[in-house]
Structure 1
């Protein structure tokens, strides 16, 4: 060590240590070294605990943000399920009107009003991420369709949806209500 980098010694400390045996100094130095090592280990453990706590805090924050986003996106789910019956009833009302009554001058405005209401309801569904599930002519998808009955059919591939008994809907990427369908099976 050069003279410039050598630690300055305190004359009072040197005078006090002058009468202490070398062996005792080494023991005390070893004790201090062990204590310093324990403190370094404790510091490293504390650093790791802080890192783990930070990581856990970030994970909790991310989960909370995802839960909040899901709550916003799917808050209307219960209401949407309830309002689907209104859509079903409008569709049934329109389907039940015979063609000759649709042309009757007395009922034209009524039919037009029901059709406009159905279109407006579909528009509102679209604004809130509610979409109708395609069914007829597609293979049965158990994640979106609920097979209510099987119909023997020579031309259709078994498992193909032949008829939609009740429309199914999705809200964003989640199933709101499965489509209830009739599915083709091989004729006996």
Structure 2
């Protein structure tokens, strides 16, 4: 049997890391910061040594999880930023919120990122996530603020953006903690948020 090529090894590594991060997100939803590498190994149906080979501690794993979630969130909202989402919505900000909430439901790591940012990284020691926070501001938060400023004419677009993010996190949290992730009416939630915003800004 011939040895694996570099491409094959890279593909296996990528698959394993994806498997580990998906498992870590599920464990985090259940245990929060108390998760351990062993918990993740059990959830991923991998040996402890296999997970430990990729991540020596849970801080490294959570850091990778959150950075990956940021990239996924940014990719999810690009159609709203470029106007290529095929939506009939008159507001890009509404489309942005809809896409982001759908991604939160599909990918728990994206929900974890939004909740962690909303909690100001309260459960994470030191300032090791200050760079991640800065990138989140630049790539997710500020684009939404700018859309709100241009499209809705809000007197305080930052407060409106905070209201939107808080509502998305809150609605997702309630459903996840009651094991009703598949029952979240993402479109209904976003419609309600924006009808309220528009009524307030009139």
TM-score range, shorter chain: under 0.3
User: Which structure shows the higher strand fraction?
Assistant: 1
User: Which structure shows the higher helix fraction?
Assistant: 2
